[in-house]
């Protein structure tokens, strides 16, 4: 009887460093934008409702497409999807930093959520596949979690510095050099174990149902005041459909 035992990936700790560094910008971005939003609102002249949408646009795209992003990593390869997420997140950050009006900023934030949904599951999968030993894997995820936590704290600090001494746009531009480092490291160090054999196909109806349900849950959690698009007497509700998904009513 043969056993399929995966060998440890060479330079796996260096790969972890680059993966965590690339993922760091996702946590940095959210914290920085929370601090920089008042400055962005004053610069672009949008309402408080628009300010809520800057946060919600990212959350809806990220939460709604997270399951789909993981499935695409299984089909196309985790490394490929991770690099696509890095490049897309960098481009979206550049668009957001150069935004001259609210629609452009909202589009950039939504795109950040889309590509962030590709990054997050691919990063976890690459780490899990690189570390075959259970103890090493636990250490790797511990380091990854520590970097993520530090990213949120560092983002609050950088957000204050950018808004005080430069301008809010640098809260988005800061992602670009981090992305360049991450892309270089992932392409040169990270190994892709490949996709499963066979002609796997994407379940489009299932993906739409799962993503739509996640979006509805996110809408319900945010509530009408966070969206800034409903009157006080209205409510955003979600009900379970016969197919098992959630839909707003």
Rounded CA-CA distance 29/89 in Å is: 10
pLDDT on residue 166 = 87
Residue 213 has pLDDT above 90, yes or no: no
Kindly indicate the confidence band of residue 152, based on its pLDDT and cuts at 50, 70 and 90. confident
Rounded CA-CA distance 111/130 in Å is: 29
Which range (47-51, 150-154, 194-198, 232-236) has the least confidence? 232-236
Residue 247 has pLDDT above 60, yes or no: no
Sequence-distant (≥ 6) Cβ neighbours of residue 137 within 8 angstroms: 127, 128, 131
16-44 average pLDDT score: 87
Kindly indicate the confidence band of residue 199, based on its pLDDT and cuts at 50, 70 and 90. low
How long is the chain?
249
Residue 139 has pLDDT above 90, yes or no: yes
Which residues constitute the domain of residue 225?
204-249
Evaluated on CA atoms 192, 193, 194, 200, the torsion sign reads negative
40 touches 158 (CB < 8 A): no
Residue 77 has pLDDT above 60, yes or no: yes
- Do 127 and 232 reside in the same domain of the chain? no
Determine the 3-state secondary structure of 248 from DSSP. strand
pLDDT on residue 236 = 41
- Do 187 and 222 reside in the same domain of the chain? no
**Beta bridge pairs of residue 246:** 240
Residue 26 has pLDDT above 90, yes or no: no
Kindly indicate the confidence band of residue 2, based on its pLDDT and cuts at 50, 70 and 90. very low
pLDDT on residue 9 = 72
The tokens for 52 are 């809520």
pLDDT on residue 237 = 45
User: What is the share, in percent, of the chain residues with pLDDT greater than 90?
Assistant: 31
Kindly indicate the confidence band of residue 56, based on its pLDDT and cuts at 50, 70 and 90. confident
Give the domain CATH number at 122: 1.20.1250.20
- Do 121 and 76 reside in the same domain of the chain? yes
By C-alpha distance, which of 178, 181, 201 is closest to 189? 181
- Do 185 and 216 reside in the same domain of the chain? no
- Do 157 and 241 reside in the same domain of the chain? no
pLDDT on residue 4 = 44
- Do 188 and 218 reside in the same domain of the chain? no
pLDDT on residue 103 = 95
130 touches 191 (CB < 8 A): yes
- Do 184 and 220 reside in the same domain of the chain? no
- Do 148 and 186 reside in the same domain of the chain? yes
Chain mean pLDDT for the chain:
81
- Do 112 and 188 reside in the same domain of the chain? yes
pTM of the model: 0.80
pLDDT on residue 248 = 46
- Do 223 and 186 reside in the same domain of the chain? no
* Number of domains present in the structure of the chain: 2
> What distances in angstroms separate CA 75 from CA 46, 71, 82, 203, one per listed residue?
41, 6, 13, 11
3, part of any domain: no
């Amino acid at each position: 009887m043969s056993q399929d035992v995966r060998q440890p990936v060479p330079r796996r700790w260096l790969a972890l460093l680059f993966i965590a560094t690339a993922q760091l910008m996702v946590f940095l971005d959210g914290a920085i934008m929370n601090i920089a939003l008042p400055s962005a609102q004053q610069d672009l002249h949008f309402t408080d409702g628009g300010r809520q949408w800057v946060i919600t646009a990212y959350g809806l795209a990220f939460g709604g497409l997270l399951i789909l992003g993981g499935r695409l990593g299984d089909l196309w390869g985790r490394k490929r999807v991770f690099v696509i997420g890095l490049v897309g997140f960098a481009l979206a950050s550049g668009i957001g930093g150069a935004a001259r009006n609210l629609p452009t900023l909202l589009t950039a934030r939504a795109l950040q959520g889309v590509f962030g949904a590709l990054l997050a599951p691919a990063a976890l999968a690459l780490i899990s596949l690189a570390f075959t030993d259970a103890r090493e894997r636990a250490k790797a995820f511990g380091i990854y979690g520590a970097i993520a936590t530090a990213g949120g704290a560092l983002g609050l600090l950088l957000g204050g510095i950018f808004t005080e001494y430069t301008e809010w746009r640098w809260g988005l531009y800061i992602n670009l050099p981090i992305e360049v480092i991450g892309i270089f490291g992932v392409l040169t160090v990270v190994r892709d174990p490949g996709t499963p054999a066979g002609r796997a196909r994407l379940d489009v109806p299932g993906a739409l149902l799962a993503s739509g349900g996640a979006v509805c849950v996110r809408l319900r959690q945010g509530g009408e005041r966070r969206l800034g698009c409903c009157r006080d007497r209205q409510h955003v509700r979600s009900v379970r459909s016969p197919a098992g998904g959630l839909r707003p009513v």
